[in-house]
Structure 1
């Protein structure tokens, strides 16, 4: 089949986006290939199509467990055989998966780069009929990239085992320096390079300084009632902002790393189905999300780097319609950002202390611990050793990226279940509620002792056996618990930790600490770039972003906050007439006037205040004791 026929058959698309077909052709011709495609550019198609056209299996290296699972699930929905080899599974499970890859006619094997550090896994991979090696998030191979992972440096050794197999390196954001480093570290041989512009002609980059961010968010969402994402700094803000929006009459939900997988899926689906307009999220949200009609992406705090900001902002307007990427700032944001991003960076001494305490916490002896897996609660760990949670998390995340540990934040739900009524009463319930029969009979057949004692319960297994969804299983459990038919308890584990190597304390930390100083310096430089982007009021915002990624563009975009401001040449006095019209209907305070301004959300609060001062000085309006303005008759 041709690339176009495969695209139509499995993805139901008639045409490739530029330059997908050129990349596919390069790979099919056996060339090492480098593809720099911005967010939403369709990177996965570039290795999935050529892999299907050649006999054998495509090896996909990716650092993101959630994205791997998402891509494997999407391929399986299209009747394409794919599996993933992630951390946290036993050696026997790994052997079984590799057997399936070798003998099961699979087309895609996804694995994390840390897996390449196990020699026996590499030996097994050498025996697979590999037809293509795709390296996703390839910027992770460069220590100058925003998410450097030393395990990526192991990928180059696959060249010695598969000298005739093409490498395809893919990334959504990389500076010139990072691009050159990627090609060098992966040992790409005269790679064909494909890069499309970072410019998004339909995306208006807006930066607004405001003391009242909620008011500005309200204005934006009322003017643009289509689907929106609001990125916030932490889990508490997710809950608070979504509640504030609901109080204002918006439909909103939230998404953060602290939700169970079931809750994540439910909240995301509400937004994907447009049952709610807004999803308020931390940066845990976004990977693998493909919703074309997102009108607005709002960042209510400074992002930690422009790479992440570009990717998150780029989730707006994928349908080609005009969309907005809004960044709201306040004078205090810089201090908050420095406290959030820089003050919590671990140094070598703290990194060693956290690693030693982590090993002690799980009673791992020196020289032991490899492949051991534990449930882990970060707050309990920090409480025991009097560690600052944010700094500790950064230390653990650094150890995770270096491959020393694997830190999973996917919540696992453990359920203990027991029936409180006799079996004949359960049968009577089934006869009265036939829609629940499949699930209940499956539970009774799977757990014969469930009447006598609390039994560990596997919801995904019951869903699979009964032919129903996990959501339906959980809904039935809630209903039965309400009716006192069952007693069940769900306990969430905060995270899971897997130790990828034996404990060697100083030796372990000395090996990885050389990267720590570079990474800390890089984070400081990245935050400085964010501050420059926000504070520069003399250039087109899109041009500033393009400059950062090494792309020169001389023309202004025409739609960003700088360009709109330049076109409008704002004159606060021009606001006096609209204000007078509003005051004819009622006495209003400055916040109410700003909120009701019919122009658009680019009207600044300071301009409203200036116009009101002019009206006061000219005795056209008066200020009442309740801080409301009234017309002087």
Structure 2
């Protein structure tokens, strides 16, 4: 395939294809429907981008992830490849222009969400495009047993009728055998060529450690491995807390979560990408499109929601092929916390119905109305008004989003617009009587000459800088001017925008999707049980457990995971260490960390000997996690 390799070298500066990429590209170029299971970091996008560039026409890419679509379009445009994404929030007139560009502008890639295909007029326009390949990314969303099932994906198979000779390429990074079978059937793939890359990552040591002090263990890992690392946590507060604690211990650390502005996200990510900091503490909002080859350790300090997410996040380590570590730190309370966080907050049909009705009431939508209406939305205010639990409500809204009933897009931004309502001579008079406000008002008038004629987008930071004032002082003046009816001033501090995709039908709407809700809730329970099994199973290689979950069998232990290391430790003679621990405990009660410091042994060796002494009734562990000699 000299032409394909030439494109790879020209646009991506790679001299050879990764495992399975060449075979998948060949299958697609031969006109075959194709299913490809390529775990994270396998280079899935190349598999459709190269064949699309080799053929005349445009590649249709269906993806549920707006951030990933934007990221891929930006990367293609950087390489001077013409690509467009039809993401949410684009007005109909703009959509028409973009689709015209696709038809007449020699574009090579059109990205859209599956929900877009539910608009008849968009589907009609797509039918008229010269589609050379239809790619379904994140294809596990097609399956009701996939971890992000979206019913809109089921409509994709209808494209087969309109493009019977166009190959379909289904791509996913995480699919169990049941999900794989579901994808092929639901998409109507015709005698598909199947490509499955092994889930084995031979250079990653999967470690599960039960520890009393997670921060101390993190400190040990980061000191021993000073290369770039990621620490995954479950919430924004933990991001800030762990990052601050690491900084106080002398580590260079930053953080990343969905509540940051785009500017802050980019700044913090670049600090880590450029290795100005060693570690980034992040929620699962971090990682999409991140391909840093030399990540040495990925550390989870709370239980992940499912094995699919854990495998993807852990797989960001060691992409350079060198030894790397995927560490999961657990403590006795983690399972209870995980059930509280993942299972107890799942909405049932009754709660979902209540949220949906109140959401319509909140925006004053009448029964039988509301389709295509868009609103700014503050989750906290909504939950406060109706006394709903926040996390359970968020899960209910996410479910409604995945079902296509609403579109929930998170913004996390503050937008300010203002307009002067009184003539300029009255503004000058006001300034002469209120000289403390003069510098700020003059800065606004000089920056926005059209502010008397229309509502004008306002940059708070810029005006603060130009007027030599703090942002809070500028805001105070704006609020004062608004109270005096001198300006019209609108400040939207939103955490979301909601679009209603259907007319309001209350229980009828919810009854239609309630079966999916039951299936998804049951799936989430099973997935958490799989995580619990992974951490509690102490007699099987951790790599084997991961492979088994994804339907891949191996008879060989990896030799580098926490189980395999424990097996090696068991072969050592720890008689002298046991005697040393007993001698230490004769003087005072100690926890495992204190024993480790005093004996200068590894945590694994100390824990192994302590467990042996506990089993032989030589020592006891007290409620404060300190070990003492049995009297």
Q: Distance in 1 between matches of 2:111 and 2:21?
A: 21
SS in 2 for 1:109: strand
Q: Distance in 1 between matches of 2:76 and 2:524?
A: 36
Q: Which residue in 2 is equivalent to 1:223?
A: 224
Q: Distance in 1 between matches of 2:627 and 2:541?
A: 37
Q: Distance in 1 between matches of 2:403 and 2:209?
A: 38
Q: Which residue in 2 is equivalent to 1:523?
A: 524
Asked whether the 8 Å contact 1:38–1:173 carries over to 2, the reply is yes
CA 1:163/1:208 → structure 2, altered by over 3 Å: closer, same or farther? same
Q: Distance in 2 between matches of 1:478 and 1:382?
A: 34
- 2:596 aligned to 594, 607, 610, which one? 594
1:409 to partner: Cα distance: 1.7
Matched, 1:167 2:162: no
1:598 to partner: Cα distance: 5.7
Q: Which residue in 2 is equivalent to 1:102?
A: 103
CA 1:356/1:552 → structure 2, altered by over 3 Å: closer, same or farther? same
Q: Which residue in 1 is equivalent to 2:233?
A: 232
Matched, 1:179 2:180: yes
CA 1:387/1:311 → structure 2, altered by over 3 Å: closer, same or farther? same
CA 1:333/1:381 → structure 2, altered by over 3 Å: closer, same or farther? same
1:574 to partner: Cα distance: 5.0
Of 590-599 and 516-525, deviating more is: 590-599
1:279 to partner: Cα distance: 0.9
- Equivalence map 1:318-467=2 (5 Å): 318-415=319-416, 447-449=448-450, 455-457=456-458
1:601 to partner: Cα distance: 5.5
Q: Distance in 2 between matches of 1:377 and 1:571?
A: 61
1:412 to partner: Cα distance: 3.1
SS in 1 for 2:399: helix
Q: Which residue in 2 is equivalent to 1:15?
A: 16
Q: Which residue in 1 is equivalent to 2:548?
A: 547
CA 1:97/1:608 → structure 2, altered by over 3 Å: closer, same or farther? same
TM norm structure 2:
0.86
SS in 2 for 1:34: strand
**Residues 426-467 of structure 1: per-residue CA shift (max 9 Å, x gap):** xxxxxxxxxxxxxxxxx99983246999942379xxxxxxxx
Asked whether the 8 Å contact 2:52–2:108 carries over to 1, the reply is yes
SS in 2 for 1:516: helix
Q: Which residue in 1 is equivalent to 2:151?
A: 150
1:257 to partner: Cα distance: 1.2
1:521 to partner: Cα distance: 0.7
SS in 2 for 1:407: strand
Q: Which residue in 1 is equivalent to 2:25?
A: 24
1:134 to partner: Cα distance: 0.3
SS in 2 for 1:240: helix
Asked whether the 8 Å contact 2:397–2:408 carries over to 1, the reply is yes
CA 1:572/1:259 → structure 2, altered by over 3 Å: closer, same or farther? farther
CA 1:175/1:500 → structure 2, altered by over 3 Å: closer, same or farther? same
Asked whether the 8 Å contact 2:463–2:474 carries over to 1, the reply is no
Gaps of 5+ in 1: 423-442, 460-473, 618-626
1:478 to partner: Cα distance: 6.2
SS in 1 for 2:205: strand
Over the residues paired in the alignment, what is the CA RMSD in angstroms? 3.2
Asked whether the 8 Å contact 1:573–1:611 carries over to 2, the reply is no
Of 255-264 and 396-405, deviating more is: 255-264
CA 1:179/1:597 → structure 2, altered by over 3 Å: closer, same or farther? farther
Q: Which residue in 2 is equivalent to 1:429?
A: none
Q: Distance in 2 between matches of 1:52 and 1:445?
A: 49
CA 1:453/1:405 → structure 2, altered by over 3 Å: closer, same or farther? closer
Q: Distance in 2 between matches of 1:446 and 1:101?
A: 38
Q: Distance in 2 between matches of 1:520 and 1:109?
A: 33
SS in 1 for 2:305: coil
Of 21-30 and 269-278, deviating more is: 269-278
Q: Distance in 1 between matches of 2:53 and 2:454?
A: 50
Matched, 1:69 2:70: yes
Aligned length: 580
Of 446-455 and 392-401, deviating more is: 446-455
Asked whether the 8 Å contact 1:205–1:541 carries over to 2, the reply is yes
1:372 to partner: Cα distance: 1.6
Q: Which residue in 2 is equivalent to 1:304?
A: 305
Q: Which residue in 1 is equivalent to 2:134?
A: 133
Q: Distance in 2 between matches of 1:578 and 1:35?
A: 55
CA 1:510/1:559 → structure 2, altered by over 3 Å: closer, same or farther? same
Q: Distance in 2 between matches of 1:14 and 1:55?
A: 24
CA 1:514/1:447 → structure 2, altered by over 3 Å: closer, same or farther? same
Q: Which residue in 2 is equivalent to 1:59?
A: 60
